[in-house]
């Protein structure tokens, strides 16, 4: 992947009355990247998305899309983005094909290329079977696909999807995720969601936003590193004294979950698993379970958010 | 812009509302047309002897156009209410806002689409008086002036309706407020006519849309009347653009 910056936002701020919906948020997205925007409800995700798509003017800050400033050259900049808001913006009385034709026209695709663009979008979003049906009669999943088709029809540099899988059933969610993966091959994608596994499966980079502030921004792999915990879960049918376990090299603390089940905390660079196995056999502890504990993305997420609110309290 | 206008018109014809309005207005006006003809046939023997007496155009076509204006007053809010309010309700406004279109293109597109619907309506209605040309001599100049008046009138109604529709999310509220506004503009010169010659009456009768329409029905095309409608149209379109722009800012 090349390293061209397609979209950059600098110190975006937006107030609703006295409330800070988005506060000094800056980020960039490079070519071919999927950026996940993560945060609890009401954190400012949708507001940020609306500002990026030009539906809402930021109170402060600037947005540059593929070299065009969104505020001073809105037309050129908007031609470079495709936007799917939380509620797909559809004309329910039109058929899928009519609607996409209209979208192609308002996105200023030259008329000679419109049919081709519409057909490509239909093809990519798997809408072949429903081209002649009214959008209002389609299921939520198909409507969502039409929404995505609308966003990619003019092959924009950046596709912005605001909670694309909300309100769908699990099968539809899988299909939409698959579709997003496909899109990511050709466009840069910004995706907002509050569903954590979605970020894990789809995104290259994650940003966590809470109370309008960007509190975490890194690649998905370094997020997974944070998820590596230094603890083991251990079940022994014939456990020795807790003191005996404590003596193993590297063990820092032991929690007894029940009389036969323990949580072992160890120094990150000194994993006691091998020792444990050896002693378990030689001293007949009757090992039944041994598993490295992994923090779920939820834990990391909660951790980051809690740390943030802690530092807020300390700062105040 | 024209794409938007075409789409607006097309979607209008996909809804039963447009067809019902076309059919019913045609029905009511056809009935009125026939009563006017009936009346004309009754009095024809009496006036045929008088030189310079009013002819078919004055006695049939012009009253019909005047009735059309009243009916448009009732119909215009029903058509304009859905313009922006419904987009807002269906959350389809972001589609237009995130497309590479400027706000004034969006507003003008919607406006032109709706005005063309009314022009289609007027063309259908004008077929009735035109059918009289088969059997008598029509004063085409007078008829054209009347139709021009109707076009201007309905164009100003649409501009007002578009603005009021941009203020709200509820089409019904847009319809009611548009109707009140249009009706007030229609009757505002009543105040003028009761308190004759007072200073405010001049302003009120200038504001009245009816006052500027009547001369056109009599075949008088005044620049001041045309200017009145153009001012109303531009003012309300500008207000709509401002309104949508400020929504983006706040």
**A107 close contact with B: CB closer than 8 A:** yes
- Beta strands at A228-236 and A68-69: parallel, antiparallel or unpaired: unpaired
Which chain A residues are within 8 Å of B248, Cβ to Cβ?
54-57
**pLDDT for B23-64, tens place per residue?**
999 999 999 999 988 888 888 888 777 777 677 777 888 888
**pLDDT for A163-188, tens place per residue?**
888 778 888 888 888 888 888 888 88
Beta-carbon separation of A107 and B99 below 8 A: yes
Query: How does the average pLDDT of chain B come out, rounded?
Result: 85
Percent pLDDT > 90 in chain A is 1
Which position has the higher pLDDT, B236 or A216? B236
**A90 close contact with B: CB closer than 8 A:** yes
Question: For tokens 């992947």, what's the residue?
Answer: A1
Chains A, B: CB contacts under 8 A, how many? Answer: 68
| C-alpha neighbours within 13 Å on the C-beta side of residue B56 | 17
Percent pLDDT > 90 in chain B is 28
Burial of A234 (0-12, 13-18, 19+ CB in 10 A): buried
CA-nearest residue to A89 within chain B is B92
Query: How does the average pLDDT of chain A come out, rounded?
Result: 82
CA-to-CA distance for B67 and A270, rounded, in angstroms?
94
Which position has the higher pLDDT, A271 or B115? B115
pLDDT band (50, 70, 90) for residue A289: confident
CA-to-CA distance for A242 and A253, rounded, in angstroms?
10
- Secondary structure, 3-state, chain A: CCCCEEEEEEEEEEEECCEEEEEEEEEEEECCCEEEEECCCCCCHHHHHHHHCCCCCCCEEEEEECCEECCCCHHHHHCCEEEECCCCCCCCCCEHHHHHHHHHHHCCCCHHHHHHHHHHHHHHCCCHHHCCCEHHHCCHHHHHHHHHHHHHCCCCCEEEEECCCCCCCHHHHHHHHHHHHHHHCCCEEEEEECCHHHHHHHCCEEEEEECCEEEEEEEHHHHHHHHEEEEEEEEECCCCCHHHHHCCCCEEEEEECCCCEEEEEECCCCCCHHHHHHHHHHCCCCEEEEEEEECCHHHHHHHHHHHHHHHHHHHC
Beta-carbon separation of A78 and B98 below 8 A: yes
Q: Which of B99, B102, B104, B113 to mutate to test the interface with A (most CBs of A within 10 A)?
A: B99
CA-nearest residue to A109 within chain B is B100
Residue A240 confidence (pLDDT): 81
CA-to-CA distance for B195 and B207, rounded, in angstroms?
16
pLDDT band (50, 70, 90) for residue A1: very low
A246-250, B95-99, B149-153, B224-228, range with the lowest pLDDT: A246-250
Beta-carbon separation of B100 and A107 below 8 A: yes
CA-nearest residue to A73 within chain B is B100
CA-nearest residue to A151 within chain B is B95
Complex-level ipTM: 0.80
Structure tokens at B227: 């200017």
CA-to-CA distance for A5 and B193, rounded, in angstroms?
69
The highest-confidence range among A94-108, A209-223, B129-143, by mean pLDDT, is: A94-108
Which chain A residues are within 8 Å of B14, Cβ to Cβ?
93-94
The residue-averaged pLDDT of A182-205 equals 83
CA-to-CA distance for A9 and A52, rounded, in angstroms?
8
Residue B116 confidence (pLDDT): 93
**A14 close contact with B: CB closer than 8 A:** no
Beta-carbon separation of B94 and A81 below 8 A: no
A22-31, A82-91, B46-55, B206-215, range with the lowest pLDDT: B46-55
Q: Which of A7, A106, A108 to mutate to test the interface with B (most CBs of B within 10 A)?
A: A106
CA-nearest residue to A77 within chain B is B100
Residue B98, pLDDT above cutoff 70: yes
**A49 close contact with B: CB closer than 8 A:** no
- Taking chain A, what is the end-to-end CA distance rounded to the nearest angstrom? 43
The residue-averaged pLDDT of A235-252 equals 79
pLDDT band (50, 70, 90) for residue B143: confident
Which chain B residues are within 8 Å of A50, Cβ to Cβ?
94
**pLDDT for A86-134, tens place per residue?**
888 888 888 999 999 988 988 888 888 889 989 988 888 888 888 889 9
Cβ-nearest to B248 among A57, A87, A106:
A57
Beta-carbon separation of B3 and A76 below 8 A: no
CA angle A188, A193, A198 (to 5 degrees): 80
Q: What is the DSSP letter of B168?
A: -
Beta-carbon separation of B99 and A93 below 8 A: no
The residue-averaged pLDDT of A219-248 equals 76
- Taking chain B, what is the end-to-end CA distance rounded to the nearest angstrom? 25
**A74 close contact with B: CB closer than 8 A:** yes
Which chain A residues are within 8 Å of B4, Cβ to Cβ?
106
A21-35, B49-63, B223-237, range with the lowest pLDDT: B49-63
| Nearest chain B Cα distance for residue A49, angstroms | 11
CA-to-CA distance for A97 and A155, rounded, in angstroms?
17
Residues 6 or more apart whose CB falls under 8 angstroms from that of A243 comprise none
Structural domain boundaries in chain B: 2-249
The residue-averaged pLDDT of B139-151 equals 88
The residue-averaged pLDDT of A23-52 equals 84
CA B5 to chain centre: 18
pLDDT band (50, 70, 90) for residue B199: low
pLDDT band (50, 70, 90) for residue A192: confident
Residue B192 confidence (pLDDT): 56
């Amino acid at each position: 992947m090349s390293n061209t910056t397609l979209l950059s936002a600098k110190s975006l701020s937006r107030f609703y009355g006295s409330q800070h919906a988005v506060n000094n948020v800056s980020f960039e997205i490079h070519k071919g990247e999927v950026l996940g925007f993560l945060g609890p409800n009401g954190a400012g995700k949708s507001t940020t998305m609306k500002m990026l798509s030009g539906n809402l003017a930021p109170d402060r800050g600037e947005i540059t899309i593929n070299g065009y400033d969104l505020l001073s050259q809105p037309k050129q900049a908007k031609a470079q983005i495709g936007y799917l808001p939380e509620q797909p913006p559809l004309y329910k009385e039109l058929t899928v094909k009519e609607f996409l034709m209209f979208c192609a026209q308002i996105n200023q695709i030259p008329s000679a290329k419109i049919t081709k663009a519409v057909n490509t979008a239909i093809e990519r979003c798997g809408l072949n079977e429903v081209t002649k049906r009214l959008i209002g009669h389609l299921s939520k999943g198909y409507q969502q696909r039409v929404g995505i088709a609308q966003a990619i029809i003019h092959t924009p540099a950046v596709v912005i999807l605001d909670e694309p899988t909300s309100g769908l059933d699990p099968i539809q969610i899988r299909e939409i995720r698959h579709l997003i993966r496909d899109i990511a091959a050709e466009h840069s994608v910004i995706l907002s969601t509050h569903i954590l596994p979605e970020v894990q499966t789809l995104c290259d980079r994650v940003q966590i936003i809470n109370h309008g502030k960007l509190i975490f921004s890194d690649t998905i792999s370094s997020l997974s590193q944070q998820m590596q915990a230094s603890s083991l879960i251990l079940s022994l049918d014939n456990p020795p004294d807790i003191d005996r376990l404590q003596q193993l090299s590297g063990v820092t603390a032991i929690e007894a979950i029940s009389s036969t089940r323990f949580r072992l905390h160890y120094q990150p660079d000194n994993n006691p698993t091998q020792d444990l196995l050896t002693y378990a056999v030689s001293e007949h502890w009757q090992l039944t379970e041994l598993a490295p504990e992994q923090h779920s993305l939820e834990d990391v997420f909660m951790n980051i958010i809690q740390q943030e609110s802690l530092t807020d309290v300390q700062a105040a | 812009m024209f794409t938007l206008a075409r789409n607006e018109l097309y979607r209008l014809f996909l809804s039963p509302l447009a067809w019902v309005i076309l059919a019913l207005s045609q029905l009511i006006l056809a009935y009125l047309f026939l009563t006017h003809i009936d009346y004309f046939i009754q009095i024809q023997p009496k006036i045929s002897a008088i030189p310079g007496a009013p002819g078919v155009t004055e006695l049939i076509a012009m009253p019909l156009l005047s009735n059309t204006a009243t009916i448009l007053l009732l119909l215009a809010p029903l058509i304009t209410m859905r313009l922006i309010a419904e987009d807002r309700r269906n959350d389809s406004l972001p589609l237009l806002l995130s497309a590479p279109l400027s706000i004034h293109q969006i507003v003008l597109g919607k406006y032109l689409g709706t005005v063309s619907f009314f022009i289609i309506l007027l063309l259908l209605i004008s077929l009735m008086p035109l059918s009289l040309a088969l059997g008598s001599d029509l004063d085409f100049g007078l008829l054209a002036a009347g139709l021009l008046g109707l076009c201007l009138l309905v164009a100003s109604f649409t501009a007002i309706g578009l603005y009021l529709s941009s203020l709200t999310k509820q089409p019904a509220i847009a319809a009611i407020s548009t109707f009140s506004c249009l009706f007030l503009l229609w009757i505002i010169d009543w105040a003028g006519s009761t308190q004759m010659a007072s200073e405010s009456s001049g302003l009120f009768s200038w504001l009245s849309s009816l006052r500027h329409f009547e001369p056109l029905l009599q075949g008088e095309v005044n620049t001041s009347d045309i200017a009145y409608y153009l001012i109303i149209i531009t003012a309300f379109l500008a207000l709509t653009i401002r309104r949508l722009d400020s929504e983006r800012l706040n």
